[in-house]
Structure 1
Amino acid sequence: MFPPDGYTKAKPGQVCLLQRSLYGLKQASREWNSEFCTTFLAYGFTQSSHDHCLFIKVTNDHFLALLVYVDDVLVTGSHTEDIQHLKSHLDDLFTIKDLGFSKYFLGVELARSSQGTYLHQRKYILDIIADTGTPLTDPNHYRRLIGRLMYLNFTRPDLTFAVQQLSQFVNSPDSSHWDAALHVVRYLKGCPSTGLFYPSQSHTQLMAYSDADWGTCPDTRKSLTGYCVFLGGALISWKTKKQNTVSRSSAETEYRALTATVCELQWISYIARDLQRTKHLDIDCHIVRNQFKDGFILLRHVSTKHQLADIFTKSLGGSSFYTLLSKLSLQDFHRGLT
């Protein structure tokens, strides 16, 4: 390994002699990422400029894509023989462990069938439930629980609004905040197998719902932005976030929410372009005026009872919550797909 920048004692041409595992060094992640990138680029991959963890290789009608997290790699492609050749090449270089079809990745469980792919975090939810049976003794219990719930948002958009609200009190939580967090855990206990379903056959129309709740924070009077994005019938992106500045009117709040939505849509369109999915990609969503004039989006009015983004900005009653939730592509794997 080459000496790090700023180290002046090494003579020209000298390298570091490792005395312990590379994983024990602060420089490890950077060196490993550099080695991986060099290897993939030499093999003919292109690193996405919109997501640096994504590598794509396109040759005629052959397509390969890699998603890298540290030393874990997900591989997909249009031809099985291309995937096998790549895995053999990586094994020659690094001695990899081939786990076959992905079933578990970074806490997310995957199940697939001819109908589509299902993502959920049932085991992760059961671990959370098992660790929250004791009363609050210090703030670290609350902080740990909120951190785990935030990671759970990866496959559970129904938690987004609640977790956003609870995360505001991690510095000085009290018993009422803990009780509210346990209420979320009890909700999870009733549906630990619920996750996202992605049908194998679906159109490629991109549609987004955007909403805002004006002055919802009683302390700062800042508003909430909420949105969700669908590709065909599959939910692919969602968010609840407090706006950075105080808005003087509801119109200003809505405009800021629309701006956040268009930024997300633009990023998704860039990723779709990297994945060779732009030939049939249409946009149908709520967005700001200049994007409408540029022809990037199509504006349509959505009535309140059909506004799916409400679930990301408001504390809804049971009936409204479950009505909107039924439209977010969430399915219970253990109870069967409907």
Structure 2
Amino acid sequence: MNDSSPTPHTFSTSFTIPLLQTMSQTSSHPSMCPTASRPVSPSILSPPISSPSLHPMTTHSKVGQLPTIVNQALKNPNWNTAMVEEYQALVRNNTWTLVPFHPSMNVIDSKWIFHVKYNSDGTIQLYKARLVAKGFQQYADVEFTDTFSPIIKASTIRVIFTLTVTYNWEIRQIDFNNAFLNGEIVETVYLSQLAGFISTSHPQYVCKLQKVLYGLKQAPRAWFHKLKDALHTWRFISSTSDTYLFIYKHNGNFLLLLVYVDDLLITGNNAPLIQTLIQDLHNRFALKDLGLVKDFLGFEALHTTTGLHLTQSKYTVDLLTRTNMHSAKPVLTPMSAALKLHAASGPAFSDPTLYRSTIGVIQYLTYTRPDIAFVGTVHRGLHFTPTSSLHLQVYADADRASSIDDRRFTTGYCMFLSTNLLTWNSRKQSVVARSSTEVEYRALAHASIEVAWLHSLFSKLGISLVNTLVIWCDNQGVGVLAANPIFHSRTKHIEVDVHYVREQVSLFANQTQPCCLSSKTGFQLGIYDVPLVGAPRVIFYTFIVPLRQPLLFSVKRLEKQTNPIKFGELVASQGLDNEEEFGHLLHKLVRS
């Protein structure tokens, strides 16, 4: 990088930046000085989160609004320090060289992004300033080609968590510092000089990038290739079921490495080997060893004597605070299952941007909360418990014409590895069904797709299921179509789904059975079906047990019968005083 010194910083007032002397002593770059010359389930309850305003330490509610301009950030010692640290990291990494500007160049602008990283209790862990390039100004096929971001599937994470608690493996977490800066850039890309750090000797020069920056279209791909090359030297193999899951098998040692952009989880049966791997990665990249996983991607991981508890309580509290719902009245029961909403009912939301961002936040919340319930359940989440045997159970269901706007249906499924919930889905379909068989069959087809993927993942991990895979459904016609080569006028328009499910039945020995526990119990399991708007129509107790959630439901008594039974209606129990007794009763019936 060119060592020309930046322009001295000046303000119209007598204010002086308190870190200038510190910067001149610690910086390896001569005469570095900031300047603003360029505008630019069943769950175990976790400890309650104290109110931010009463917390003795600095919390997110005390930080104030994040700076949006460089001048504003430079006046704050915390952000000033963060900007200097980011600049020094770029200098050490030889991220660019200064070259004369030419009119033929497409010079991309840059911007400072400010972020506060919090601990799981809401206190501030780190002030982070990051320089990003405005990648939307790049020309496709000239300044970048392929783009992707290394993000492991949430289902894969839950599968690995189940294995770790079953085999008592530790889960280590590491975080790479300025990960994207390690990626090599192949294309020619020019960047304007950093706002706040303009060269004094060459103020009109531009930066020719030698390493990728955050914000560039190719940045995640370049970083992932760099990391993958390092892992290949260890004989890690990328799984074909999930590209960002790396598997190491050698001399009886078994390690798993999960990549989520610049965050890594490492687990396996050899703790000393894991430490050796972390040290080797530290020799190659700047990273922080965070020890046993505690806070990963906004998830709080609590290790207990009964397993691993995963919640997003802090994330939920932040959401409630941002939407002014923090003082909402808590309730212990879910929303009404009979609630019907119309797309045109009610006034339009006053802030479309806030609405979209809130919906996105809620969708991310479903990583650990399949049920989006009322306030009062923020500490609940997924609980992974050890199991003596690994068996997969799949439940698929659908409602018919539930949308009062277009009469389209919602399909859903969920899958358990023993008692641990692995994956689920609930989605409104794009077609209008003509029969209940069609509705249920499409739900079965969607579940079969996920089953096929899970089967592939299990085979790569060396997991042998102890049971014949069963997909539970509640429609006799679906079972007939799945097992027999028949068509008629009412089903010929769903031929593609029919053939797919039949193929899966043949390949993986799937069995479709009526969703009826036993004619002796008089009780029935229903699928956990969560529409995008509204509340669960029905819920089955097998979901409640692993999460340990006190959301108990009275189940209508069903007459003894041998034919497949339609789902019974589940009515929320208003009196929870006998929740323990009722839970034991249902648990006994389910296990019988």
- Relative to the length of structure 1, the TM-score reads 0.78
Residue 280 of structure 1, CA deviation: 4.1
From 209, 215, 218, give the equivalent of 2:395. Answer: 209
CA distance in 1, matches of 2:141, 2:321: 46
Matched length: 298
Contact 1:235–1:328 (CA under 8 A) maintained in structure 2: no
Q: CA deviation at 1:202?
A: 4.1
**Structure 2 residue aligned with 1:152, among 343, 347, 365?**
365
Cα displacement (A) at 1:138: 1.6
- Structure 1, unmatched stretches of 5+, are 8-12, 160-183
Supply the AA of the counterpart residue of 1:148.
V
How do residues 1-338 of structure 1 correspond to structure 2 at under 5 angstroms? 6=142, 18=209, 22-133=213-324, 137-159=350-372, 184=373, 187=374, 189-278=375-464, 280=466, 282-286=468-472, 288-289=482-483, 290=502, 291-294=504-507, 296-303=509-516, 306-312=524-530, 315=535, 324=541, 327=544, 329-331=546-548
Consecutive unaligned residues in structure 2, runs of 5 or more:
1-94, 96-139, 144-185, 190-207, 326-347, 474-481, 484-501, 518-522, 551-582, 584-592
Q: CA 1:115–1:278 in 2, change beyond 3 Å: closer, same or farther?
A: same
Deviations 1:47-66 (A, max 9, x none): 11111111111114211111
| 1:136-183 Cα deviation digits (max 9, x unpaired) | 632222222211111000000112xxxxxxxxxxxxxxxxxxxxxxxx
Q: Larger radius of gyration, structure 1 or 2? A: 2
Distance 1:269 1:284 in 2: 13
3-state DSSP of counterpart to 1:56:
strand
SS at match of 2:289: coil
TM-score normalised over the length of structure 2? 0.46
Q: Helix, strand or coil for the counterpart of 1:311?
A: coil
Cα deviation per residue 1:107-148 (whole Å; 9 max; x = unaligned)?
Answer: 111011342111110101111111111796322222222111
The amino acid across from 2:509 in the alignment is: F
* Distance in 1, Cα, partners of 2:446 & 2:221: 31
Question: Is contact 2:383–2:547 with CA below 8 Å preserved after alignment?
Answer: yes
Q: Which amino acid aligns with 2:209?
A: L
| Deviations, residues 92-113 of structure 1 (Å, cap 9, x unaligned) | 1102210000001111110113
Q: What CA deviation, in whole Å up to 9, does each residue of 1:264-288 have, x standing for no partner?
A: 1111111112222136464222374
Q: CA RMSD in A?
A: 3.1
Q: Distance in 2 between matches of 1:139 and 1:6?
A: 35
Query: Percent identity of the aligned residues?
Result: 34
Cα separation, partners in 2 of 1:282 and 1:84, compared to 1, 3 Å: farther
Return the structure number with greater helix share.
Answer: 1
Distance 1:281 1:97 in 2: 41
Distance 1:308 1:107, change over 3 A: farther
Task: Return closer, same or farther for 1:225/1:58 CA change in 2, 3 Å cut-off.
Answer: same
The 1:79/1:281 distance shift into structure 2, 3 A limit, reads farther
Cα distance in 2 for partners of 1:81, 1:280 equals 31
> 1:332, 1:92 → 2: CA distance?
44
> Which residue type is aligned with residue 228 of structure 2?
C
The CA deviation at 1:33 is 1.1
Equivalent pair of 1:211/1:225 in contact (CA under 8 Å): yes
Decide whether aligned partners of structure 1 residues 253 and 90 sit closer, same or farther in structure 2, where only a CA change above 3 A counts.
same
